[in-house]
Structure 1
Amino acid sequence: MPPRNTSQSPAVLRRKSAPEHTADLLREQITAGELQPGARIGVEKLSQSIGVSANTLREALQLLEHERLVNQELNRGIFVARITEADIRDLYAMRRLLELGTVRTAQTVPPEALRALRAAITLGDDAIADRDWSASSRATTDFHSALISIGHSERATVTMKQLMAELRLTISSVREALQMRSEFQEDRRAILARVEQGHFAAAAELLAEYLDKGERAMIEWHRQLSDSAS
């Protein structure tokens, strides 16, 4: 009899709990902009609208608070997080550590990672053609999540998932100022081309320039929104 495969951890094998499923649903609503930054979350009303108990929803919100997607304010309630300029800088600093480190040390690309990278590029092309900002932000996060999977690190993948949720929250925060800038899509396409060729040092160099440009753009958009709101 062949040996039992024990390579998967219990965390991978177990089923998700009701609060985790609820957190997944709310995370998508928040990062898609359906729940706006700064919006107050009414537990009773929201629990009824999504069909879960108030206790389940509260547990889900605790998970999202750990991910920095919601904030609980004493005597005021729970709110969708607002992204600050300091948050943007910190987010990009962490992305540089993870993404650049992964690409610079890569030796091979798993076939599933390559498929995911190509699918993200296709989604981005379609989003730009349709001027669909939500799909565009999803294509961006899909691309970078796939890029991290090159490193074969489960911990890096989990960390990147949280960072990408924060990135989509950041994008939703500036969506009124966000333009479907095809230059970012072309940058991702160029990075993918280097990865496909196995030229990881060149891919990392392009990625570093891309992250610098993305951070500058996010900060500029955030400042414009802050100025218009003041």
Structure 2
Amino acid sequence: MTVAGGVEWPTGAKSGLERPPSTAELVAETLRRRIIDGSLKPGARLSEREIFTDLGVARNTLREAFLLLIHERLLVRRPHHGVSVAKPTVDDVIDLYRIRRVLELSAIRGAVTAPPGAVDAVGAAVRDGEEAARAADWQALGTANMLFHEAIAGLTGSRRVVETMRQLLAEMRLMFHVMAAPREYHEPYLVLNREIHRLLCAGEVELATQRLSDYLDTAERQLVDAFIALETATD
């Protein structure tokens, strides 16, 4: 394993990559995970000094990682303001759900040929969500929900699909901050996650696909409505 900033990333033949990830890519993954778990919030300015001290990497490496995340629309750089976490818009929500449908619904439909342990990983994310709910840790529940969707991508057996989904989910975390009541937003999806996992275990792929399609429609509508209400309130 290659480890940087608390992130473990397999290298060599087992990773499915043609080359090991660079240090800048590992740093980018660390920051991406901090966005996913809610540690880095929309609009937060990033201090080069604090991050390179924390992770023990050179400034040039950190700046390369910033460029990777700017390309992924997770960070933005503004003249005289430095680098900060991006603030998504309602158009970003709509576009992101377009690509999520392509990736996740395809992954569910192909679940009958999922690699060993892939469906179990979906169940593990459900159990993480249940544990977070019992602890009334709604931010952790949101993180577990995103890991559920990352595990859905894992049904494809494709490292590249999982990495793409991870990038999309980091954008999703930035969108979740618009929801004023995280418990009311995240908790109902735990029930749906559990149901989808049950259907996958039973081999009912078509029904699981329909459940997930309805799920994504509802989630998109909730976020779009929240963004519109926020934009109206600030006009």
- TM-score category (smaller protein): 0.7 to 0.9
Comparing 201-210 with 65-74, which one deviates more in the overlay? 65-74
Amino acid aligned to 1:174: V
Report the Cα offset of residue 19 of structure 1.
1.7
What CA distance in whole angstroms lies between the structure 2 residues aligned with 1:121 and 1:10?
25
Give the TM-score, by structure 1 length: 0.85
Q: What runs of 5+ residues in structure 1 fail to find an aligned partner?
A: 1-6
The two structures, once aligned, show a CA RMSD in angstroms of 2.4
Contact 1:40 1:77 in 2 (8 A): yes
* 42-51 or 10-19, which deviates more: 10-19
Give per-residue Cα distances to partners, 1:76-126, cap 9 Å, x unaligned.
Answer: 321110011111111111101111122224433333112211110101111
Matches of 1:18 and 1:109, distance apart in 2: 31
Q: Which residue of 2 aligns with 1:163?
A: 168
Q: 1:105 & 1:72 partners in 2: Cα distance?
A: 39
Q: What do residues 116-174 of structure 1 show as CA deviations (whole Å, max 9, x unaligned)?
A: 11110101111112221332122112111111222233332222121122222322x23
Q: Contact (CA 8 Å) 1:177, 1:221: kept in 2 or not?
A: no
Compute the displacement of 1:67 (Å).
Answer: 1.8
Q: Which residue is 1:99 aligned to? A: 104
Larger Rg: 1
Q: In structure 2, what is the equivalent of residue 26 of structure 1? A: 31
Give the corresponding residue for 1:113: 118
Give TM-score scaled by structure 2 length: 0.83
* Number of equivalent positions: 223
Matched, 1:205 2:205: no
> Could you tell me how far 1:41 is from its partner in structure 2?
1.9
Residue 49 (structure 2) aligns with: 44
Show the counterpart of 1:194.
199
Gaps spanning 5+ residues in structure 2: where? Answer: 1-11
Q: Deviations over 1:165-186 (max 9, x none)?
A: 2222322x23543225432111
**Alpha carbons of structure 1 residues 155 and 19: separation in structure 2 relative to 1, 3 Å:** closer
Q: More displaced, 126-135 or 82-91? A: 126-135
Query: What percentage of residue pairs aligned between the two structures are identical?
Result: 36
Aligned mates of 1:57, 1:164 — CA distance in 2: 22
**Alignment partners' CA distance in 1, 2:56 and 2:122:** 35
8 Å contact from structure 2 (residues 111, 200) kept in 1: no
The answer to which of 144-153 and 45-54 deviates more is: 45-54
The separation in 1 between residues aligned to 2:51 and 2:175, in whole angstroms, is 23
